[in-house]
Every structure is written in structure tokens, then in C-alpha cells.
A and B are shown apart, each in its own frame.
Chain A
Amino acid sequence: MYGIFKLIQKLVATLNSEGTPGQVAAGIALGTIFGLTPLLNLHNLVALAIVLLLRVTLPAVVLGWFISVPLGFALDPLFDVLGQRLLDLLALTPFWTAVTNAPVLALTNLNNSVVLGSLVFWAVVAYPLFLLARWGVTRYRATIYQRLQRTKAYKAVRASKLYGVYRMFRPE
């Protein structure tokens, strides 16, 4: 329970102040790969390494992952069809033959329709998602959060014991 509370707290803090909007947006966009594509695959290990090595906001990665998990399940039929279409393209057969027989690359399961379809889908939506998330975070911080701070409810919450509890766990 404490862990979940801490996580929610971190996510809210992420939207509000931690990192630049670009870092948060990149985290969200990269995080969606873990939810959209089947998790236990080699490409997700590579994605994890990228996430850790690049200065993206890590709680935003978790946020992106959580948001995209149900989306991934819901879009599986689409990924299956998309993946099969790509695997069936005669022009790409030499490419798939090379990929699926190359050392290490063969372990990526790119010849599975759902893995390939979801990965291609993520690759297509990742950049627009990044732009959308960056705009959204900027707007949120500039307008909604500012207005929220001026509301009586917000002030009441800040003055409440609950906020006192929240502050106890607030990262420094």
C-alpha cells in the first residue's frame, strides 16, 4: 500500500515539477513500449537500457507503461493483423529471412505477428505521442496547475491533515 502511495505521489510530482516537459514526455513515450508490446521480449530489455541511460523522467516511464498496458491488450487483434501483413509482404521476405537467422536478432521474436505489429505500431506513434505529451505537460503546468493552486479546494487540501501526510512522503 505504501509503495502504491509513493508511486502515485511520484507520478503527480513528475507532472508538476520534476524534469522538463521534454524529459517527462520522452519518458511517457518510451514507457508505452512496455505496455504496448509483449513484455518478455528482448527489445524491451534494450528499451529498458535506453530508458535508464537517457535522462528521461523515470516515473513518467512508469506512467506511460501503466497507461498503455490495457491499450496493448485491447489492440492485440490489430497488432496481429498488422504483423501478419508485414510478415507476408513478399518484398520483405529477404529482410525477415536475414533478421530471423541472424545471431541475437533471431531472439527478438520479430517473426511473431503480435510482437512485430505492436513494435511497429509503437514506433509509429512514439514521436507524435512525445509531442502530444510535451504539449500536454507544458499546458498542464502553465494553466491547470496554476489555477488549481488558486482554488479554495486546493488550499483546503494543502491545509488539511491529508496533505500533511503527503508532505511527510514528499521527495526532497
Chain B
Amino acid sequence: MKLKLFRWQAIVPLLLLMLLLFGVWLVYSDRVVEHTIEDFGAELVGARVDLESADLRLADGVLRLTGLQVADPNSPMRNLLEADEIAADISWEPLLRKKVHIQRAAMLGVRFGTPRTESGELENPSPSSGRLLREISDWADAVRIPPLGLEALRAVVNVDAIAPESLRTITQARAAVVFADSARQLWETELSGLNPQPLIDSARTLAERLRRINPLQLGLGGATQLVNSARGTLSDLGSTRDRIAALNNAVTSGVGNLTQRVRGLSAARQDDYRYASSLLRLPSLESPELSRSIFGEMAVERLRPVLYWLGRAERFLPPGLDPRRYRGPKRPRRSGVTKLFPEPQGEPKFLLELAEVGLQIGGSGAAAGEYTSRITGVTSEPAIYGRPLTAFISRTTGAEGSQNVRLNAVVDRTGSEIRDSAAISVAGIRLPQVDLNALGARLDLNQGSTNMRLDRTGGNIVGRWTWTSDSVTWSRLSETQIADTASSARGTVQQIGRDLLWRTVSSLRQVEIDVRFSGSVTSPRFEVGSNVGGAVARALREQLGAEIDRAQREVYARVDQLVNSYVSEASAKADALETEVANRVGVQLEEINVVRDELERALRRLIPRP
């Protein structure tokens, strides 16, 4: 009997099964979309993204989301953004290629910074989110903010606190001495190994003999032997001269290196002066340094989210078209790695062509009013889309005052190099309060303006962020309110300084803070300028200048006392190396050259040229 291959009667059950699966999809598609958005959003933001409901109608090409809450990764009990409703026109055809194309999206009822009932922190953040937060924390921890301590004044300066091993000059001087000793030993061994003196002496004797001899008396055989001997000696002299010349070059270069090291000790000593001053918490009298002391913590806190979002954009808006890797989907089995292969002539994986966001901030506060925003070209593969992301936000009407809010941003990742720029200008709104531990005061910036400009090219950023207000108010922080970082600066003497600082800043009504940052995206440098720093510098000079000078002189003298012997030893070693070894090598080289010339002249006399 011939075995039948197909089970035709299974077609109907199979079709029924497909229908059943389709029915299941219809019932659960909204849940699937909801979970997908929540999971992808969490991966994108690095914090929880919650959605009340999703309604996908593929036949109409509409996706409607309600109750969106995006937690702030830097402050998990607050929402970065909350939207009542999002409506999007979605194409179904790209979905067959596992791509999402939204032609137009509108967000309604958008609010920022709303409180959350439960923490938005992720239980298992992705490795990239965790790494980014760690990198930013490491950067923030490594930022050096000079202390503004005054306890070293009006008291005996305890210079014993300056430990010799912590001074850079001593370390560098010791290294120079070690270098000098080892170089000297090496070169002397090499010079002894070469030992050119016997060769020089024998060459000199031979030259003398050649000068005195009469070639006619020697005969042909004797003259040939003497000439060959002279030529052999000349060859030996040549090779020895080459080796000594090589040694001479090494010695010259080494001595130069050592001299540079010794010269560098002056710069190291200046660093040590600064370091020792910071140990004793001597306040700087320079305005930039004081501004950094006063507003450094604030600048770090404000730059944290900027760096975080730059890092997130780095991951989800990468330049170029190289294949990208992501963690696979969550499932009982291993997730594995999902690798995306962008198609240069195709369509991006995700594209939001146009988003219009109508923002309304209610109430009668300074931020209240209506805003309009327009974002174009949000895509996961900018190089395929070929156009940069642009964002524009502007305030249309304000509830009070002459408020102005504008944001312009261009995120260009279409080429192989990142080129982004953003400018935010906010005027006439209520600026935040800032606790300034260094001053022991709280600054309420009240109504003012803030501007930020950020440009990124490749891995480097250049930016400036300013806050200006002419209606600031000050209040004193109690001892318990002052953060632990400044706790070491408490006490009676400190209180005297605090009183001085308070008298200085509390009369200021107009404040400008200017933070400029530049460098790599992961660890930028920054400088702070402020009229508060200038005012504090002037007050300190007037009130404490003489005492600071006295304390500083004591500190410098202690540093000098600790480092002088090491610097002298390093200088002496460098001089000795130059005068003894270098000169010896030079003399040997010169001697070989002289005797070589003598021998050549004597040889030419013996064999006159035609």
C-alpha cells in the first residue's frame, strides 16, 4: 500500500487554528503594544515607563495611548514627563518588516516634573543604563571643587599636616635622581666596555712612526705591511668612533631629558603650593576659583542630566550604519543578543516623521501658560533617514509676566560624525533655589532667565549655561542643613568667616552664574564664573588678605623646607651627569677624531696621491 504523504483533512483544523491565533492577537494586541512600549521606553530612558492603556487599530492606521508616565532616572519619585493622551498615525505595511513608521503624532495634556506614587527606578536596569549612571557618578566624584574653608586663618597654621610623600615635587625629584643614577651606571659600563684608550694610544704611536719613517728604507714589503696596519687601525678607529658617537647621542638625549625633569620641578613646586594650601583650606582670592568653590556642586548637579541624555542619545541615535546589538526579548529561555542590520537604501527601524506637542502648564505660576512644540525626524537610524532630528519649543501665551521660552535643537547623526546643537532660552520664569554649602547660605534666584547652548562634534562637547536674576534673596543655612561635604568647615573660626561671607553675599540682589563646559562627553571640564565669586574675592582681600598672605607664606616655606633637599640633589645629579659623564664621552670622541686625522695625514704622506 502506498503511503500518503499529506494529511489533507488537517487543512481545516489548521485554518481554524490560524483563526484562533488571529483572534488571540486581536484580543491581546493592545496589551502586547502596551508592554512593548513600556519595555522599550524603559530601555530608552533608563527608568520606568508606565502606560495606562494602548489602543491599536491597524485597519484605521491609528495608535492611541493614554496615561503615559515616564519616570525621571535621576529622580525616581518624579515623572520626567506625563501625557494624558497620544494619538499617532501609524502605517501597517512597515510592521510586516518589524518596523514602526509614524507619520504624525500629537500629545495632549503634557506635564513635566509631576510627582509619582511609586518609585520609577528599574528593578533590573539594562547594563548600558547602569554603566552610564556609574560613569556619570564617577565623573561627578572625580570633579575637584576647591573648598572654601577659613579655619586655617586666625589660628596657628598647622604645617605639619603637609605630608612629604604627598608632594609631587619630591616624587618627581626622586624619580630624577633614580634616572640619573641608573643612566650614569649604564653609560659608564658602556664606556668601560668600549675602552677606546689603548686603541687611541696605539694609533697615536703608529701615526708617529709613519711620520718619521722613510718609505725608501722600508722596501716594498715593509711599506705595504705598514700601510695595511695603518688602514686596519683606521678602520678600528672608525667603528669605535661610531659606537662612541652613538653613546654620545644617548648621553646628550638623556642629559636633556634629565634637565627637563629638573626644570619641571619648579612647576611641580607650584602645584604643591596649591595642594598644601588646599590641605589647610586656605581660601583662594581669585574670582574663578571662588566661583567654582561656591557654585561647583550646583554645576555638577545641573550637568548630570545633560550628560545622561547625551549618553542615551549616543546609544539610541547612533551615527553610521554599522550593525547594532541589543539584548534579546525577555523570556524563560536565554534572551541572547539581537543584532540589527540596517539597510542603507531601506527604511529605518523606527521613524516618527512629525510630532506636535501641545503643552499646557496650568495655574498662575511663572511657568504657567501654553506652549507649542514641533519635533521632526525622530528615528533610530538617522543615516538611513538622511535628515537630522529637529526640535522646536516655544511659549505661545503665558499666565503672568513677560515670559519667553524657546528651544531649538538639531541632532545630526546622518554622517559618520555626530553634529548636534541645542539652544535653550528661558526668560521671566521662576528659577530654582540653590543651597550653597560653601557659603552656608541658600540662594533663591526667584524670577530670572537661564540660557544654555550646547554643541557637540564627534565625542566632544562645548557648552555654556547661564542663570541671571536681579531679584535674588538669600537665607542662612543652619548647621544641620549644611551638607556633610562642608561639615569639616564648622566651628568658631569658621563661623567668623561665614559671617563675613554672609555680610558680603546677603546684600547682593543681582546674580549671574556662568558655567562653561567642554571636553569629552563622558568627562567634561567646566569653569564657573559669577559676580558672587568676584564679590567674595574682594571682601576676602579686604578683610583677610594679610592673614591669608601670612598663612600662605608659612605653607610655602614648609613646602620649600620639605622639597629643597630633594630638588638640590636632583639638580646636582643632573649637573654631575653633564659635567662628568657627558664631558668624558665627548672628550673620548674628540680624541678619537684627532688621532684619526693624524693617522690619515701620516698615511697620505706615505702614499702620495697621484
Contacts and interface: CB of A to CB of B under 8 A. Distances in A.
Interface of A: 20, 23, 38, 40, 45, 48-49, 52-55, 72-73, 76-77, 79-80, 83-84, 87-88, 93, 96-97, 100-104, 106-107, 109, 111-115, 117
Contact of A53 (B10, B93, B337, B346): B10
Contacts of B98: 100, 106-107
Given A101-B97, A111-B339, A55 B6 contact: yes
A113 B336 contact: yes
A55 B5 contact: yes
Contact of B337 (A23, A72, A102, A113): A113
B331 interface: yes
B96 interface: yes
Given A87-B339, A101-B341, A106-B97, A76 B5 contact: no
Contacts of A102: 97
B507 interface: no
Contacts of B13: 52
Given A111-B338, A113-B328, 19 more contacts: A48-B17, A55-B3, A76-B336, A77-B334, A80-B337, A84-B337, A96-B323, A97-B342, A97-B343, A100-B340, A103-B93, A106-B96, A106-B97, A107-B96, A112-B337, A113-B339, A114-B335, A115-B336, A117-B336
Contacts of A55: 3-7
Residue among A84, A88, A103, A117 facing the most chain B CB atoms (10 A cut-off)? A103
A73 to B, nearest CB: 7
Contacts of B331: 38, 40
B333 A72 contact: yes
A77 B333 CA distance: 10
Interface string B1-23: 00111110011011001000100
B457 to A, nearest CB: 29
Given A72-B333, A107-B96, A114-B335, A53 B14 contact: yes
B328 A114 contact: yes
Contacts of A106: 96-99
23 contacts: A40-B331, A52-B10, A53-B10, A54-B5, A55-B3, A55-B6, A73-B333, A80-B336, A80-B337, A83-B336, A97-B342, A101-B97, A101-B341, A103-B96, A104-B96, A106-B99, A107-B98, A111-B338, A112-B336, A112-B338, A113-B336, A114-B328, A117-B336
Interface string B93-109: 10011110000000000
Interface of B: 3-7, 10-11, 13-14, 17, 21, 93, 96-99, 323, 328-329, 331, 333-343, 346
B334 A114 contact: yes
B336 A101 contact: no
A25 B462 CA distance: 68
Contact of B97 (A20, A76, A96, A103): A103
Contacts of B337: 80, 83-84, 87, 112-113
Given A53-B11, A101-B341, A93 B336 contact: no
B7 A79 contact: no
5 nearest A-B pairs in the assembled complex, by CB-CB distance: A114-B336, A113-B336, A76-B334, A52-B10, A103-B96
Given A106-B97, A107-B98, A76 B333 contact: yes
* Secondary structure of the A contact surface, majority rule: helix
A56 B133 CA distance: 55
A112 B6 contact: no
Contacts of B10: 52-53
A23 B5 CA distance: 10
B14 A49 contact: yes
A101 B339 contact: no
A45 B334 CA distance: 20
Nearest to B345: A101
Contacts of B5: 54-55
Contacts of A107: 96, 98
Contacts of A73: 333
Given A80-B334, A101-B97, A107-B98, A112 B329 contact: yes
A38 B334 CA distance: 9
B328 A112 contact: yes
Contacts of A48: 17
Nearest to B343: A101
Contacts of A77: 334
A103 B99 CA distance: 10
A111 B96 contact: no
Residue among A73, A80, A117 facing the most chain B CB atoms (10 A cut-off)? A80
Contacts of A83: 336-337
A52 B331 CA distance: 26
Contacts of A117: 336
Nearest to A23: B3
B96 A97 contact: no
Contacts of A38: 331, 333
Contacts of B4: 55
Contacts of B96: 103-104, 106-107
A89 B93 CA distance: 30
Contacts of A112: 328-329, 336-338
A106 B6 CA distance: 29
Contacts of B329: 109, 112
Contacts of B14: 49, 52-53
Nearest to A73: B333
A114 B333 contact: yes
A112 B98 CA distance: 13
A114 B340 CA distance: 14
B83 to A, nearest CB: 29
Contact of B323 (A53, A72, A93): A93
Nearest to A37: B333
Contacts of A76: 333-334, 336
Given A20-B3, A54-B6, A109 B97 contact: no
A155 to B, nearest CB: 33
Contacts of A53: 6-7, 10-11, 14
A88 B335 CA distance: 17
Contacts of B6: 53-55
A51 B493 CA distance: 87
B336 A54 contact: no
Contacts of B339: 84, 87-88, 96, 111, 113
Nearest to B93: A103
A56 to B, nearest CB: 8
